[in-house]
Structure 1
Amino acid sequence: MIRIASVEPGSIAADLELPAGLAVLEINDKPIRDGLDLLFYQAEPTLRVLTEQRSGERFLFEIEKPADEPLGIVPEPDKIRRCTNACPFCFVKGNPKFDKLRAPLYVKDDDYRLSFLHGHYITLTNLRPDDWDRIFEQRLSPLYVSVHSMDPAVRLGMLKNPRSANIGQDLDRLAEGRIVVHAQVVLCPEVNDGEHLRRTIEDLYRRGDAIRSLSIVPVGLTSWNAAPGGRTLEPEECREALDAVDAIRERALSERGQGWCYAADEMYLQAGLEPPGAAYFDDHELESNGVGAISTLTDRVTGQLEALHPLEGCRVVAVTGTSMGPTLTRLAGRIARRTGAEVSTVAAENTLYGPTVTTAGLLPGADHRSALRGAGDFDVALFSAQALNDGDLFLDDVSLSELQADFPGRRVEPSHDLVDVLSRL
């Protein structure tokens, strides 16, 4: 069952006055196990919704509606399916010692529901028989799968879970059920790179349309999970991986009309190369997972420059991580020329996770505060909206309102692409 947390104003649930705390047990005689079941079964035009009060009293609602209209029920959060692997490069293990950050940041999820709904990468190692049945029944496609290696022994060595060696059979099973996969390889030096990477690429490519894409991402280690002997890729190792990606891309472009295999921006930056432009990433379907973020930001700014009005005399500072620093500086120059504003950038080093973590979305509030204090006078400060959660908290529990209070009389705002805020000034 699920319990109602709230209902959307003006929705069917609001019209029925369904209260918070009410349990939804069944829809059309199908048990409702979680929010995904609610999404799936409420799509029918005729519904019989069985509910239960905390007192145990039950009510049956019979509803007729357009098939595409949701009920408007916001369920309480589902219990997350935990990860059963022991990857040494796990980013959750890269968090500071437990209790330094809020509890949800220490949850290792490996939940196929979140993979379908939000693009989280999963390993397929904790699926029960009923999970497989549900994936096929509800057509949970595409799924995002952390493959890492198609060699059973190599993958077992990385995930430390006996079930991880079944990756080939698991992908075959998904393909037989017509479930499409976005695959990912986190590339670790002297583990799954070199010839191992080339074999993994070839194995996944020969599976045809069942593997919609493959992303190659360099391993990222924080100051807290740099295990003995663990290291990040050297520039030459990144360039070798990029050669393997380029080779399969050339073949995919010829045979399938799109690149299929994509190296993350960080792979290029660690190789000492300029990341590719938007055309490389085709439809940018993987941008939310950090693949193509630089080109996406560049495209957004370029496409909206003409919408900006003059801002002469306005002093703007943009805070970002060290990986995005050069790109943001170039874009700031274009904005300054277009608007007449004085636009500067600060690339802040991450003091929570260490200097090897370079993305803006993982900068804590304390680093934003320090960066702005050292930025000199400004009228408007912008930073990546990805650094905040839904409650407007940074990773270190500094709130947006606290950061803003440190700079009275000045605007400090989250931004998705700089232009979204500047166009409103």
Structure 2
Amino acid sequence: MTQLISREQIAAAAERLGPVVRRTPVIASRVLSERIGQQVYFKCENLQRTGSFKPRGAYNRIANLSRDERERGVVAASAGNHAQGVAWAATELGIASTVFMPVNVALPKLVATKAYGAQVHLAGETIDDALVAAREYAEHHGAVLIHPFDHADVVAGQGTVGLEIIEQIPDVATIVVPTGGGGLLAGIASAANYLAPQVQVIGVQSASAAAWPSSLAAGQPVRAESMQTMADGIAVALPGVVPYAHVKQFAHSVQTVSEEALSRALLLCMERAKLIVEPAGAAAVAALMTSALDLELHGPVCAVLSGGNIDPLVLTHVLTHGLRAAGRYLAVRVTIPDRPGGLSRLLGVVSETGASVLDVVHSRTTPTLALNEVEVMLTVETRGPAHRQDVLDTLSGAGFTVSV
């Protein structure tokens, strides 16, 4: 049976981390407060060192190594936040670190991990492949493998986020936490249990990569079959044994959100809170935006923004997805007659709706077109779902064949 971490272990982690990690701010969110009828705050771990909460657990784990273990160095496998957390923590403690990352890792994350001091090796196509390589390296070189979530010291380190929330929002009633392997959820739920047991702590996963609901139902960690999500930071197929014991004991539940909700949450964080958040880091916001939490919410509510490390190219894609999901971006195919003035008439109809044209692609070579037809790919900016539907209705009413 897994031994649960104690209040003293979390307190010791907080004392150890105090001089080296940031006490990240808590920011009130008026737009979400109005939407759910409760005061909502953001806990901004996206503003933590290395851009996520990960250095807390990594530093606490590495700082507790023996002198012999430190001399042997540490090794980790990650595609992003854990890699940077381990590299930074090891360098802070004067310990050599090696990190294995998939060959398709985002360039900014690769560069950042090297900049924090790690020796980086690219191995395999997935995190699982990189983890195999990291384990082999540990066996051959004697380095200590630093697991991203499945260790008591890591859970205790992440629990310091919970300590800070309870100190910063003394009357907090609900804490909503992005959840992957479970280290952050386990740590926050444990801290809340010891300091404020009346607080309900809820985990959030992408519905497309949700291992926790089935695992909790089964009474043990169960591997998820699908991991198709933009929120790669919480796309963990198998929950950790150590986090599982704490989540089962102390957390209220784990809920899921859609990909559209994640992209809309990221957009809200940027537009309304002026915060850059990665899709995984926005999972708690997505749950609050969509009322995905299948329970009565008690306020004040704290949504943890767990990370802000996002590739600019991915950010562009996700923002476009978020705009489309919010009804503010519409891409359609419109078939028009192939004669002078056809395109001009189409754009005139769009102009009458008040939509702003972003892009027009004119094609005569689509195989399904008749000889006297042209296909136009039209991208417009709209003011919301109602306006988006108005544009579609107006185009159809004007006699155009339209497909979204």
Q: TM-score range by the shorter chain?
A: under 0.3
Q: Which has the higher contact order (CA 8 A, sep 6+)?
A: 2
Q: Which has the higher helix share?
A: 2
User: How high is the TM-score relative to the length of structure 2?
Assistant: 0.28
